[in-house]
Structure 1
Amino acid sequence: MLYDSDCQLSMSVCPFGRTEVIDNTLNPDFVRKFILDYFFEERQNLRFDLRLEKPLTNEDGSYTICHKTEVVKNTLDPVWQAFKIPVRALCNGDYDRSIKVEVYDWDRDGGHDFIGEFSTSYREMSRSQSQFHVYEVTLLSCLVDTELSFLDYIRGGTQINFTVAIDFTASNGNPSQPTSLHYMSPYQLNDYAMALRAVGEIIQDYDSDKMFPALGFGAKLPPDGRVSHEFALNGNPQNPYCTGIEGVMEAYYQSLKSVRLYGPTHFSPVINHVARYASAVTDGSQYFILLIISDGVITDMAQTKESIVNASSLPMSIIIVGVGPAEFDEMIELDGDEERISSQGRYAERDIVQFVPFRDYIDRRGNHILSMARLAKEVLAEIPDQFLSYMRTRGIKPGPLPPPYTPCPPPAINPLLTRRVSRI
């Protein structure tokens, strides 16, 4: 038995850090917290190692500088400007941790003269305005402001709904030819497949059921050859959902075998398709992300602008990935980073479009994994801010956090059953 073991948990992100050592127990309850920067647009892998080690030194009670004010010159009654500091940086979430304030008389040569100091805590400062009697320092105000994050909403139950729309226009080239952007090589993914997998594999982690609608536009469909700008890749218009990104990839490949690439390139039908669903759920419980992958000129630009302006008031974001060598002037215009998009005198309520040309992120050495990681990082970076802008402007708060996980105790062993099994 290892009842006298000393346990330590190590969490690695190449590596990241270690917990304190818990002595003499097989059920350690680790206390030390690790703060990681979260990136929606990247897949962040963590590794946990459990080690038996000698105790390491933990916090020793020393102080660490967390903020310095500006210098107020030529006065015996300085008033410093208000500043903002995260609670995490101020006291690491410990409301009663001692916070020491030191006051210095500034000297040009750097030999600042120490005037005095006093101690307080986050809890004491946040209760009310107070005066610290040492050296007559007065706290003018202390405002505690909670900044909600994208993860707060996800943890509170907001569902991310991901939809794919793929360009099947003839400008992509014959899929049976290696020069086509839709060419299905047995050795590597084409640009459409790489863009789809790069973005989808990140977003699918936020979708609980992993069921994704997958649409195509600009093709002639069997059996009558009608042109469609809003068809289900799986061939089922009543249920266009595919299981996971692998299901979307399979439906995409099957569509290439059954439809005929045609045209023109219309974006508005697929935007309106997702907008119809987003307009039915505006309470913050769901958020919709549409990925459009296309190779060239948009032929329904006016209608597309109108669709985006209408969708800008909905819980919805649009990612556009341009593939191939064409110019993407129209797609760049839809990305509202520099100038808010407008239609018929109406401006978009907020920026909901992110456009990138895939060619800018292709690794020159042919590393497709690196190319996909670069693309995903770029196109997904704006999603959390677009998501939060919708929630904040409508005063939508995250749902309550789920109760903490409590493992069930192991079932009791029936001695009689054990004896019977041993006889067999």
Structure 2
Amino acid sequence: YHKLYIFSFHSGIPGKKCGTIILSAEELGNCRDYATMQFCANKLDKKDFFGKSDPFMVFYRSNEDGTFTICHKTEVVKNTLNPVWQPFSIPVRALCNGDYDRTIKVEIYDWDRDGSHDFIGEFTTSYKELCRGQSQLNIYEVVNAKKKIKKKRYINSGTVRLTSFLPFMCFRTQIHFTVAIDFTASNGNPSQSTSLHYMNPYQMNAYAMALKAVGEIIQDYDSDKMFPALGFGAKLPPDGRVSHEFPLNGNTENPYCNGIHGILEAYHQSLKTVQLYGPTNFAPVVNHVARYAAAFQDGSQYFVLLIITDGVISDMAQTKEAIVNAAKLPMSIIIVGVGQAEFDAMVELDGDDIRISSRGKLAERDIVQFVPFRDYMDRTGNHVLSMARLAKDVLAEIPDQLISYMKSRAIKPHPAPPPYSPGDKPQTNPV
């Protein structure tokens, strides 16, 4: 449903208004699907006097009140009338709010340095049409209405073709995130400012910042926003035993925290009660999540373990073995490194260059993504932008890893929408 809010602002002088702000709101659908697509264009209009054009595309979602909202911009491809844009992934909810028949408008502009981009033309489509994939049916004429009126022989301002389309997360899979935080002594004493766990009452430490940045993104993909949160490498009260998979909230029967706020609260409470110790063993938390993943190999559930660590690892061989075994399961591992360590071991676990192996056996899939937190600290102080970049890169490999598991087990996604027909009526409750 659609809601309209109107706010009036007054100057303090009786009868004099300062203006009105109209806020339009639409309830988000519960569609969790994503799509990856790529476009190219042919014979676009030449807009630059000394060159060709620098085209980019702008995608708009249509709203229930007939207005349009920008939902994606492509990169600019310089000096060409036949651009090939990079593939991009986008939530179906952002494109059409889960309504496969809803109009998607696409405008094409010639980029100008001063921001006065020249309009080349536009076309419309829908998610249902895009689902037909690469075909003659997904070639669109780019039309400039003003040019069409002025020029009698005007045909179009070029054509755009969908070169690839991959729907994913269409498996109706529930995603479950588990957070594991490094409580080993190599992080430094939390009472000292040099510690990565420094308990500063005025600002977040490195662990809290990384957890908040990544967590605020991943919680939107977790079905119930209840997260098992674990710590490893600390001595626990009252007997001082060392644990490598203890619940941050202290409840072994129910280690779940409500949202990222709940995890941060449990994390700060743990810092006050446990003693940072060691060694730094990853294998226990990897095997902890793997036990749950092993119970759901039908594609209905997928598990993601987020490890936040300073990068010093003591059980490399055991961790490699745990990862090789976990690669057979519906599971991914994200490692966020905090601090100034070299992180050579984390890069090795990532396996982008050399597939990880254990006892001569290669991992079936690449399931580990490592990012060093320091690379995302914006020196200009723009933490919003730097945290957004961190979250984007952290999640970059999850869709492909999920799909690789589904393919390895021959699990097929739910059917795409039926082929588009001009006579189709809009669905009231699209699935």
Match 1:251 to one of 266, 281, 300: 266
Task: Write out aligned runs for 1:402-413 (5 A).
Answer: 406=429
Residue 383 of structure 2 is matched in structure 1 by: 368
Residue 202 of structure 2 is matched in structure 1 by: 187
Residue 340 of structure 1 is matched in structure 2 by: 355
Task: Write out aligned runs for 1:21-36 (5 A).
Answer: none
Q: Secondary structure at the match of 1:149?
A: strand
Normalised by the length of structure 1, the TM-score is 0.64
Q: Distance in 1 between matches of 2:386 and 2:296?
A: 35
CA contact (8 A) 1:267 1:300 kept: yes
Q: Secondary structure at the match of 1:193?
A: helix
Following TM superposition, by how much is the alpha carbon of 1:362 offset from its aligned partner in structure 2, in angstroms? 0.8
AA in 1 matched with 2:226? M
Residue 295 of structure 2 is matched in structure 1 by: 280
Residue 253 of structure 2 is matched in structure 1 by: 238
**Which is worse superposed, 329-338 or 365-374?**
365-374
Residue 268 of structure 1 is matched in structure 2 by: 283
* 1:359 maps to 2:371: no
Change (3 A) 1:33 1:90: farther
Match 1:350 to one of 361, 365, 389: 365
List per-residue Cα deviations over 1:305-342 (Å, max 9, x = no partner).
Answer: 00000000101000011110112111111011111000
Task: Write out aligned runs for 1:106-121 (5 A).
Answer: none
AA in 2 matched with 1:352? I
Q: Secondary structure at the match of 1:164?
A: strand
Q: Gapped runs of 5+ residues in structure 1?
A: 1-8, 21-26, 49-55, 65-84, 99-144, 408-424
AA in 1 matched with 2:170? D
CA contact (8 A) 1:214 1:232 kept: yes
Match 2:168 to one of 142, 150, 159: 150
Residue 201 of structure 1 is matched in structure 2 by: 216
Following TM superposition, by how much is the alpha carbon of 1:298 offset from its aligned partner in structure 2, in angstroms? 0.7
Following TM superposition, by how much is the alpha carbon of 1:275 offset from its aligned partner in structure 2, in angstroms? 0.2
Task: Write out aligned runs for 1:324-339 (5 A).
Answer: 324-339=339-354
List per-residue Cα deviations over 1:14-56 (Å, max 9, x = no partner).
Answer: 9854759xxxxxx9789999888897799x98999xxxxxxx9
* 1:393 maps to 2:408: yes
The structure in which a higher percent of residues are strand is: 2
Q: Distance in 2 between matches of 1:41 and 1:291?
A: 22
Following TM superposition, by how much is the alpha carbon of 1:164 offset from its aligned partner in structure 2, in angstroms? 0.3
AA in 2 matched with 1:386? Q
Q: Distance in 2 between matches of 1:405 and 1:39?
A: 28
Change (3 A) 1:311 1:41: farther
CA contact (8 A) 2:62 2:96 kept: no
CA contact (8 A) 1:173 1:180 kept: yes
Q: Gapped runs of 5+ residues in structure 2?
A: 1-23, 27-56, 75-86, 98-104, 108-120, 124-129, 142-162, 418-425
* 1:299 maps to 2:314: yes
Match 1:216 to one of 231, 234, 237: 231
AA in 2 matched with 1:273? H
Aligned residues: 309
Change (3 A) 1:404 1:227: farther
Residue 323 of structure 2 is matched in structure 1 by: 308
Residue 305 of structure 2 is matched in structure 1 by: 290
Q: Distance in 2 between matches of 1:63 and 1:180?
A: 54
Following TM superposition, by how much is the alpha carbon of 1:241 offset from its aligned partner in structure 2, in angstroms? 0.5
Following TM superposition, by how much is the alpha carbon of 1:218 offset from its aligned partner in structure 2, in angstroms? 0.3
Following TM superposition, by how much is the alpha carbon of 1:345 offset from its aligned partner in structure 2, in angstroms? 0.8
Change (3 A) 1:19 1:39: closer
Q: Secondary structure at the match of 2:169?
A: helix
AA in 2 matched with 1:261? L
* 1:162 maps to 2:163: no
Following TM superposition, by how much is the alpha carbon of 1:378 offset from its aligned partner in structure 2, in angstroms? 1.4
AA in 2 matched with 1:165? A
Following TM superposition, by how much is the alpha carbon of 1:370 offset from its aligned partner in structure 2, in angstroms? 2.2
Q: Distance in 1 between matches of 2:165 and 2:62?
A: 28
Q: Secondary structure at the match of 1:163?
A: strand
Q: Distance in 1 between matches of 2:217 and 2:341?
A: 27
List per-residue Cα deviations over 1:46-98 (Å, max 9, x = no partner).
Answer: 999xxxxxxx9x9xxx999xxxxxxxxxxxxxxxxxxxx9845656669xx99
Change (3 A) 1:227 1:35: closer
Q: Percent identity among equivalent residues?
A: 67
RMSD: 4.1
CA contact (8 A) 2:303 2:332 kept: yes
AA in 2 matched with 1:356? V
Q: Distance in 2 between matches of 1:152 and 1:336?
A: 27
Q: Distance in 2 between matches of 1:307 and 1:191?
A: 27
AA in 2 matched with 1:152? C
CA contact (8 A) 1:268 1:307 kept: yes
Q: Distance in 2 between matches of 1:313 and 1:244?
A: 28
CA contact (8 A) 2:61 2:94 kept: no
Following TM superposition, by how much is the alpha carbon of 1:366 offset from its aligned partner in structure 2, in angstroms? 2.6
List per-residue Cα deviations over 1:195-251 (Å, max 9, x = no partner).
Answer: 111211111111221110000000000011100001000001111111111111111
Residue 321 of structure 1 is matched in structure 2 by: 336
Following TM superposition, by how much is the alpha carbon of 1:289 offset from its aligned partner in structure 2, in angstroms? 0.5
Q: Secondary structure at the match of 1:181?
A: coil
Q: Distance in 2 between matches of 1:41 and 1:376?
A: 15
Change (3 A) 1:366 1:18: closer
Change (3 A) 1:174 1:404: farther
